[in-house]
Chains A and B, each alone.
Chain A
Amino acid sequence: MIFLSLVRILKFSFQNFARNIWLSIVTITIIILTLFSVTSLIFVNAVMDQAIKLVESKVDVSVYFKTVTTPEQIFAVQTNIEALSYVEDVKYVSKSDALEKLRQQYDDSPLILESLKELDNNPLGDTLVVSTYETEDYQKVIDILNATPQYAVLIEDQNFDDNSYVINKLQGISAQISMIGWGITLFFALISIMVIVNTIRIAIYTHRDEIGIMKLVGASNWFVRGPFIGEAIIYAFIGSAITFVLSYTVANFSDPYIVGLLGPVDFTVIDYLHSNIFLIFGLELAGIVGISVLSTWLALSRYLRV
């Protein structure tokens, strides 16, 4: 009996969906617009995160040692800094490498190259380039270098002061963009939920007489609710599937532009989509099924008291 009822409810769901095709198309279109907007905002947030990471990766602290400092003394400092848990990498650049780098950098500037040739000795000292995992940890590295007297006597200069402004600004911008991005996503999701709930309410309202008739013929609440809930689930699945295809296409289409925007980074929207496929589409599907079923249930309750 229960199995027979379930089969009939499923059959009625598909039948109603097909026989009310225009209302079905309108509801599915609203679902697609909603899901696609949310997916697009997720993409934009991911690209923004990536852009911020890219800029952050360009930030480091260079510690310039006095020319008299021996490589052994510098290696000792390097080992100590590397031991810090928040330090990602410490690169040693010898004075000759630094000079070579400088020459390459000003390859098209004969005046500077001539000036360098005029010098008898290499004026540059050895350098340690320090990168940390988080930008806020650069200050800690600098504090340690300044607070330790045996290091301070070896160091000529460090360029953190220049970077600290950029780092602080970046942290602020990064946090704000992330907050605004997710805020907009949440706001849009709420508007979308309201649109979907009302679309379903209108759809149910158009069938209110039908619901009353079913009840008068002796249908139980479950037998009336079932096909409407089935229809809502069909809307949600079709809407999600089309959004998936649409998002995939848009991701494919936009990747060359993203690469052009960010430069040579290890990030594409397609890769992001692949690695978060279940999180993005799984949650969207679950959310939309939940919203559709709940709003159908609530909208129906009003007309079931016959």
Chain B
Amino acid sequence: MLHFKNVSKIYPGQSVALKNVNLDIAPGEFISIVGQSGTGKTTLVKLILAEERPSKGHISIGGWDITNIKYREIPTLRKQIGVVFQDFKLLPRKTLFENVAFALQVAGETKEKILEIVPQVLKIVGLEQKMDRFPNQVSGGEQQRVVVARSLAHRPKILVADEPTGNLDSINSRDIIELLKKINDFGTTVLLVTHNREVVNDLRKRVVTLEDGVIISDRERGKYLL
């Protein structure tokens, strides 16, 4: 599903974010990328979303080599990836319903399809009763659940969650992780980037540990090492 082959990312000023990273993620897998701040986790996410280009190596997603992806092809790539961020990233001028619908609208889904899918995904995250509210009218945990709903709406092949529990308390964090597990159970590949030890240890799934931009550990049923 996702392949990194000898990928390095060097920012101007010789700042090395990732160094010779080799990573293969199979379809339907749940993988956690862990590491301390500044170890290259977010750079990895940015490379997957084509926000950044690798300095060396190759990246492919679902057989599509995105190493030198053309600028105009980026929207097509992003429509195939669900993304959950630490700071939620909801559109403030749209209701919860409209936020989820937006991901479908950019993909060109019909109105009928949107009216069918959005309530379904909002139901999955338990927010069907609050769909007419604006983001600032719900809690942080609820906002993050809307983001998960949005990332699910267009049935992505892969879901990338970058520190999804970073701004949440332990109860909300557990809810979000449960949601991600549920999504993974439906067959979606989930890539979780986190430095939350408790979350990683409870999952008992594959764990890749990054240190100074290098993979120092890749274990099938891993634990948080650092």
Seen from chain A, the residues whose Cβ lies within 8 Å of a Cβ on chain B are 1, 4-5, 8, 15-16, 19-20, 209-210, 212-220, 223, 306
Contact = CB atoms under 8 A, between A and B. Distances in A.
A216 B45 CA distance: 12
B110 interface: yes
B51 A306 contact: yes
A217 B103 contact: yes
B91 A16 contact: no
Contacts of B108: 1, 4-5
Given A219-B75, A220-B75, A306-B51, A213 B107 contact: no
Contacts of A4: 108, 110
A223 B83 contact: no
Given A216-B78, A216-B83, A220-B75, A8 B93 contact: no
Contacts of A19: 93
A219 to B, nearest CB: 4
A69 B38 CA distance: 110
Contacts of A215: 75, 78
8 contacts: A1-B108, A19-B93, A210-B93, A215-B75, A216-B49, A218-B76, A218-B103, A223-B106
Contacts of A1: 108
B150 interface: yes
Interface residues of B, number: 23
A17 to B, nearest CB: 10
B92 interface: yes
Contact of A217 (B72, B76, B78): B78
Given A216-B78, A220-B75, A8 B91 contact: no
A210 B150 CA distance: 15
B90 interface: yes
Interface string B42-75: 0000000101000000000000000000001001
Contact of A218 (B72, B79, B89, B90): B79
B51 A217 contact: no
B112 to A, nearest CB: 12
**Main SS of the interface on chain A?**
helix
Contacts of B72: 220
Contact of A214 (B49, B51, B106, B110): B106
B91 A210 contact: yes
B75 A218 contact: yes
Contacts of B77: 218
A216 B79 CA distance: 9
Contacts of B91: 210, 213-214
A8 B76 CA distance: 19
B170 interface: no
B89 A216 contact: yes
B105 interface: yes
B146 to A, nearest CB: 12
B53 to A, nearest CB: 12
Given A217-B78, A220-B75, A8 B105 contact: yes
Nearest to A2: B108
A220 B92 contact: no
Contacts of A212: 89
B144 to A, nearest CB: 14
A217 B102 contact: yes
A223 B83 CA distance: 19
Q: Which of A1, A15, A219 has the most CB of B within 10 A?
A: A219
Contacts of A306: 51
